[in-house]
Every structure is written in C-alpha cells, then in structure tokens.
C-alpha cells in the first residue's frame, strides 16, 4: 500500500442528552434554522436517551476494519461531533503519519455526502486521498442484498428503497438520484427482479417552500395503502449504518403510520459491519485510487 493510515470519516452524532443541541447547532451552522425547529429535532434524540446510534456503529466498523486490515493503522474522525476530524488529523500528524487514505461513510455523490468531506480534510499537514463514492461496488450491493434477504424470507412484499432526501438544488448538481436508482436495481436484480420496488426519500428538512427530492416515505406508504398494498419492506440503501434518521423516521414514524394504514412493515438492516462490506473497504484501499470529484462536481445547494 502507498498509505500508512486509513481514516474512517463520518457525520457524527451526540452521545448524551447535553450533547444534542450543540451537535444540532454544528450541523445547521450558517443555515438560519429556527430554534423551535432545532428543539423539535432534539426531542427525537431525547426519545433515545440523547444518543445517536451512529457512534457505536462507527466504533464497531472501526474495530472490524482494524481486524480486516491489520497492517494499517485505522483512525476515526467526524464532521459534526467528537472525535472531530480536525483533532484526529492532528493526532495522526503527531503519530508520524505521512500519507493517509480516507473512507467516508457515504456511498453516493452529492455536496454533503462527498465534496463536503473533501473540504473537511483540506489543509491537513500531510497528503490525504479520499476514496470516491462506492454505490456501485459489488461489496456494497452484495451486503445490501444479504440484509434484504434476511427480512424477505418467502414473502413477496413491495420494497421501498429509502435514502436521505436532498434539496433539489443540491441534487441537480450531482448524480445522487441516478446512483440510488442504479443501486436499487442492482440489489433487486440479485434477489428477485420480479419483485415490485420504488425509490423513496426520507428525513427532509428546511422550509416547506424549498423543493426537496421525493416522494417522502410516509407519502409513499399512504399511496401504496390506497392501492391495496398490505406488505412492505423498507430497505435503507441510502445509509451505511443506522443514524437517528433511520431509527426515528423509519422505525418510529413509518412503523406507526403503517400500523394505522393496515400495512405489515419490516425494515432491512443497514450494511453496518457486514463482512462483505468490511472486505469492500479493504479492496478499495488496495485498489488504484480513482479521481473523487472534478472541480465542478457536487456544488453546495442554493440557500435562496
């Protein structure tokens, strides 16, 4: 390998009730989000003890990567909460790291899921290369197929592939939508292309007058219920591991709505530390690095 360290780079999340509001202010800095909206989102975290599942998920992935790639030191840093990526990079420099490769926990192209991570590592005191989005990698596809098989059994439900919504202005500057559609098709092709499926979105935020990608998963459930669908599986292929958005938007909100609508609802797990996914990271580290983004790719969304 040409690298002497791997950096696991993620979004971050609060670990305790007192962390929640500072974390949310980090996430929304510069976006003029009203305080009452922050309080509404904070209440979701408090419902789960003020703790996001993302940190424990990343700790598990960190240990799995250290086992999978024993000859390469693996570090962990976050964009929005401890351990902050800037602090981790400083520690790496103190440890004598000369060149590192970054695996960001997002499979798709967009400003927030790719280019912003590049911005997070700019100015490091040593060269750092970022692995490009990996939504079409066989390891990601196969791990998602396994997660879906685990909940399907012999049933033939409608499958709703879910992903985090984006402002339309952000989606217009990247391949996020087409990559999601391609991943959903590839996952389904290996399981049962005869099954019915749709790509839907979740977790939108911001003013209602600002267009975001849709349809929303809750709207999709209402629509399919009106069509007579009684059996639905949610497959959150837009997420590498459980976030608050997964456990609240899908396991709480969508589950409650499905119950009201008379729909049997199940959720596939995120890939997490699936062995094929962990092996995929090693393969990406060992492969020749592809260019991550061109200079005009994945611009930030309009704030207008």
Residue 81, in any domain of the structure: yes
Residue 158: predicted pLDDT: 97
CATH of the domain at 154: 3.40.50.1400
Q: What is the pTM of this model?
A: 0.95
Residue 303: predicted pLDDT: 61
Cα separation, 154 vs 133, whole angstroms: 33
Using 70 as the pLDDT threshold, list the residues of the chain that sit under it: 1, 303-304
Please check whether residues 238 and 277 belong to one and the same domain: no
Peptide bond preceding 114: is omega within 30 degrees of 0, i.e. cis? Answer: no
**HEC letters along 108-164:** CCCHHHHHHHHHHHCCCCCCEEECCCCCCCHHHHHHHHHHHHHHHCCCCCEEEEEEE
Please check whether residues 123 and 149 belong to one and the same domain: no
Q: Which two tokens stand for residue 288?
A: 């020749």
Please check whether residues 164 and 79 belong to one and the same domain: no
Domain span at residue 75 reads 6-134+273-286
Please check whether residues 257 and 278 belong to one and the same domain: no
Residue 1: predicted pLDDT: 62
Residue 86: predicted pLDDT: 98
Please check whether residues 172 and 104 belong to one and the same domain: no
Please check whether residues 42 and 115 belong to one and the same domain: yes
pLDDT in tens, 114-163: 999 999 999 999 999 999 999 999 999 999 999 999 999 888 999 999 99
Q: Which two tokens stand for residue 270?
A: 């995120």
Total tally of structural domains belonging to the chain: 2
Cα separation, 49 vs 52, whole angstroms: 9
Q: Give 77's strand partners.
A: 9
Residue 110: predicted pLDDT: 95
Please check whether residues 206 and 184 belong to one and the same domain: yes
User: Which distant-in-sequence residues (6+ apart) come within 8 Å of 266 by Cβ?
Assistant: 151, 157, 232, 233, 234
User: Contact at 8 Å (CB) between 92 and 64?
Assistant: no
Please check whether residues 121 and 43 belong to one and the same domain: yes
Residue 217, in any domain of the structure: yes
User: Which distant-in-sequence residues (6+ apart) come within 8 Å of 267 by Cβ?
Assistant: 151, 233, 234, 235, 236, 250, 251
Please check whether residues 120 and 74 belong to one and the same domain: yes
Please check whether residues 10 and 126 belong to one and the same domain: yes
Residue 230, in any domain of the structure: yes
Cα separation, 217 vs 180, whole angstroms: 15
Residue 126, in any domain of the structure: yes
* 3 state DSSP class of 68: helix
Residue 259: predicted pLDDT: 98
Residue 296, in any domain of the structure: no
Please check whether residues 231 and 280 belong to one and the same domain: no
pLDDT in tens, 83-122: 999 999 999 999 999 999 999 999 999 999 999 999 999 9
Q: How many CA atoms lie within 13 A of 233 on its CB side?
A: 23
Residue 206: predicted pLDDT: 74
Q: Which two tokens stand for residue 105?
A: 């926990």
Residue 67, in any domain of the structure: yes
Residue 58, in any domain of the structure: yes
Residue 295, in any domain of the structure: no
Please check whether residues 97 and 115 belong to one and the same domain: yes
């Amino acid at each position: 390998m040409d690298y002497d360290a791997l950096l696991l780079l993620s979004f971050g999340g609060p670990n305790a009730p007192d962390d929640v509001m500072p974390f949310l202010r980090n996430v929304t800095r510069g976006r003029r989000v009203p305080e009452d909206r922050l309080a509404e989102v904070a209440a979701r975290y408090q419902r789960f003890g003020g703790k996001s599942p993302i940190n424990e998920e990343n700790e598990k992935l960190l240990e799995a990567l250290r086992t999978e790639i024993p000859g390469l030191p693996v570090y962990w840093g976050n964009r929005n909460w401890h351990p902050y990526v800037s602090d981790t990079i400083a520690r790496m420099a103190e440890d004598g790291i000369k060149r590192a490769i970054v695996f960001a926990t997002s499979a798709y192209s967009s400003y927030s899921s790719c280019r912003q991570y590049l911005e997070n590592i700019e100015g490091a005191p040593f060269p750092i290369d970022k692995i490009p989005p990996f939504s079409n990698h066989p390891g990601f596809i196969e791990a998602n197929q396994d997660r879906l098989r685990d909940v399907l059994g012999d049933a033939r439900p409608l499958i709703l592939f879910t992903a985090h919504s984006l402002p339309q202005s952000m989606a217009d500057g990247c391949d996020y939508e087409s990559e999601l559609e391609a991943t959903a098709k590839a996952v389904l092709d290996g399981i049962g292309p005869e099954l019915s499926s749709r790509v839907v979105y979740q977790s939108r935020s911001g003013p209602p007058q600002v267009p975001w990608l849709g349809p929303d998963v809750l709207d999709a459930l209402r629509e399919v219920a009106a069509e007579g669908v009684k059996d639905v599986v949610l497959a959150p292929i837009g997420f590498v591991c459980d976030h608050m958005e997964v456990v609240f938007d899908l396991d709480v909100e969508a589950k409650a709505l499905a119950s009201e609508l008379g729909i049997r609802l199940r959720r596939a797990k995120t890939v997490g530390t699936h062995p094929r996914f962990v092996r995929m990271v090693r393969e990406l580290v060992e492969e020749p690095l592809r260019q991550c983004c061109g200079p005009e790719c994945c611009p930030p969304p309009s704030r207008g």
